[in-house]
Structure formats: C-alpha cells, structure tokens
C-alpha cells in the first residue's frame, strides 16, 4: 500500500477540499482509478486530474453525479474519448459545480446541451484541444467566463447568459469549404470582453450581439451583420486580416451608422 493510499483510506477526514492527481509514464491506471473512487467517497470539492499517459483514462460515471464538486479540471494529452452524459429531466448531475476545465478530449455521443444542462450553477467554463464537438449550447445563467481554444471542427455555437462578462474563442470553428456552414449566436447583455481569433463565420443569428460596454478584439472575423453589431462597442480592435475579409465579402464601412 502506497503513502497516498494510506492517507486516503485511513484519514479521519470525511470531506476533502482539494485533490490533484498527475499521471506520468508507467503509472498504474487501476491504482489511479481506485484513488479517484476513494476521493469521490470523501465528497471532494476541488478535483484536478492531469493525465500524461497514452493509456486510457476512463472517468467513472459517478464523477458526473458528484454533488459536492465545485471545481473540476481534467486534462489529457492524447485525445481520449469522453461521453458527457445528458442529465435526466429536471435533474442536474453536477449541481454545485462552478468551475469546469476540459482539455484534450475527443467527444463522442455528447448532446449539444449536455454540459450546460448538467451544470446549472457554472461560473467559469474553459475548453482546450477538444475535438468532435460539432455543436455546442452554452447556456448557464450564472456563467461569467467562457473560453474555447483549439477545439477543432465546431460548426454551430450558441452562447447566452445574463451574467456573461468574457467570451474568448480561438482556433475552434470548422474551416470554410463546400458543405461546411458555420453559425454563431451570442446573447450576453452584460458582456465586457469579446476576443475572437478564429476563422470567419458564415452566419450570425443575431445582428446586435455586443452591448455598448463591451471591449471587442477581432481577428479573421468578417461579415456585414457582425460589423453592424459593433457600432456601439466601447473599445474595438480589428486586425488587418479581418478588414480584408470584410472587404472581400463586399462590405463597406461607409454603411455603418
């Protein structure tokens, strides 16, 4: 029995505030899973898992129903498969979760609203290097920060919430091409900062996406509907490529109010 196992099994503490697990080459995954199961029994509130091995990390289904969890951060380095379960009607699976970070996963059989429906009290939502998540609804009433970086292949994104203050999207949307139509909808009346460093989007479902108090930074983001939504932004930065895309789409800035 290792030191970690002795601490987890024989500690008098019934609740664990914060646990971080990092796996490296040669780590026994059966042992790691036993640690995770023990941690869940101790009502962990803050859990970080950083998995560096190629060997599959199969998260226990119970981790998506852990009522004590307030922060969850899981990073894998080899695009391992993750199926996020959809909650039953009127029953959230991670009711207390406020901070979620997912990195490196390949999503399979995950509905576009599964994460939002599972985490009604989420305040911070970050995703990086996640793939095969083609459609995503971000709709959490308490969400303040949403960041999505290098999640290749996204085609349809809806981001809405009365508390949203920061939206940051980079290298995520599908490449423009025949049959690859991408859409974006943002509804965030209290938005303060919007950062876009991605490919141009084909359709905007709202012509006035940004409130007057927002700071907006754009790269590779063109189109008439988008630019008409920027006429009241507080601070706007557009790089040269975005201006070129806008001009290429036959839009003239003289049409701005």
**The Cα angle at residue 220 between residues 215 and 226, in degrees rounded to 5:** 60
Using CA atoms, how far residue 79 sits from 69, 87, 136, in Å, is: 24, 24, 18
Q: Is residue 184 part of a domain?
A: yes
- pLDDT digit string, tens, across residues 130-156: 999 899 999 999 999 999 999 988 989
**Residue 126: pLDDT over 90:** yes
Q: Is residue 159 part of a domain?
A: yes
Check if the beta carbon of residue 220 is closer than 8 Å to that of residue 197: yes
What pLDDT is recorded for position 254? 38
**Residue 78: pLDDT over 80:** no
What is the rounded average pLDDT of the residues 50-55? Answer: 87
What pLDDT is recorded for position 48? 95
Q: SS in 3 state form for 62-123?
A: HHHHCCCCCEEEEEEEEEEEECCCCCCCCCCCCCCCCEEEEEEEEECCCCCCHHHHHCCCCC
Q: Is residue 44 part of a domain?
A: no
Three-class secondary structure of residue 253 per DSSP: helix
What pLDDT is recorded for position 249? 44
- pLDDT digit string, tens, across residues 198-212: 877 777 666 456 677
Q: How many CA atoms lie within 13 A of 27 on its CB side?
A: 20
What pLDDT is recorded for position 8? 58
What pLDDT is recorded for position 224? 54
**Residue 240: pLDDT over 60:** no
What pLDDT is recorded for position 177? 52
Share of the chain above pLDDT 90, in %: 33
Q: Is residue 215 part of a domain?
A: yes
**Residue 59: pLDDT over 50:** yes
**The Cα angle at residue 12 between residues 11 and 16, in degrees rounded to 5:** 75
Q: Is residue 147 part of a domain?
A: yes
Q: Is residue 90 part of a domain?
A: no
User: Taking the mean position of all CA atoms in its chain, how far away is CA 41?
Assistant: 27
Check if the beta carbon of residue 228 is closer than 8 Å to that of residue 253: no
What pLDDT is recorded for position 255? 37
What's the structural domain count of the chain?
1
Which range marks the domain in which residue 216 is found? 111-119+127-255
Check if the beta carbon of residue 53 is closer than 8 Å to that of residue 64: no
Distance, in Å, from the CA atom of 127 to the CA atom of 147, rounded to the nearest integer, reads 6
What pLDDT is recorded for position 238? 59
Q: Is residue 171 part of a domain?
A: yes
What distance separates the 2 farthest-apart alpha carbons in the chain?
73
Q: Is residue 76 part of a domain?
A: no
Sheet with 215-219, strands from edge to edge, namely 18-23, 46-51, 71-82, 99-107, 124-128, 145-149, 166-170, 193-197, 215-219, 235-238
Instruction: Grade residue 129 by pLDDT with cuts at 50, 70 and 90.
Output: very high
Instruction: Grade residue 27 by pLDDT with cuts at 50, 70 and 90.
Output: confident
- pLDDT digit string, tens, across residues 2-14: 655 555 555 665 6
Distance, in Å, from the CA atom of 112 to the CA atom of 116, rounded to the nearest integer, reads 9
């Amino acid at each position: 029995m290792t030191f970690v196992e002795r601490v987890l099994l024989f500690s008098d503490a019934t609740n664990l505030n914060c646990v971080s697990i990092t796996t490296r080459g040669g780590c026994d995954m059966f042992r790691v899973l036993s640690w995770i199961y023990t941690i869940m029994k101790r009502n962990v509130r803050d859990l970080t898992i950083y998995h560096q091995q190629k060997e599959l990390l199969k998260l226990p289904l119970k981790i998506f129903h852990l009522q004590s969890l307030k922060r969850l951060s899981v990073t894998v380095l080899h695009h391992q498969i993750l199926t996020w379960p959809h909650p039953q009607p009127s029953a959230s699976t991670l009711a207390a979760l406020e901070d979620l970070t997912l990195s490196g996963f390949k999503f399979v059989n995950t509905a576009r609203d599964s994460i939002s429906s599972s985490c009604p009290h989420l305040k911070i939502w970050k995703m990086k290097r996640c793939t095969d998540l083609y459609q995503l609804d971000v709709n959490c009433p308490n969400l303040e920060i949403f960041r999505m970086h290098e999640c290749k292949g996204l085609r349809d994104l809806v981001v809405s919430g009365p508390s949203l203050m920061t939206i940051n999207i980079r290298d995520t949307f599908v490449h423009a091409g025949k049959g690859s139509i991408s859409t974006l909808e943002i509804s965030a009346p209290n938005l303060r900062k919007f950062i876009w460093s991605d490919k141009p989007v084909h359709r905007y479902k709202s012509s006035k996406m940004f409130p007057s108090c927002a700071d907006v930074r754009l790269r590779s983001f063109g189109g008439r509907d988008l630019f008409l939504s920027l006429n009241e932004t507080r601070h706007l930065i557009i790089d040269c490529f975005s201006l070129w895309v806008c001009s290429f789409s036959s839009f003239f800035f003289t049409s701005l109010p």
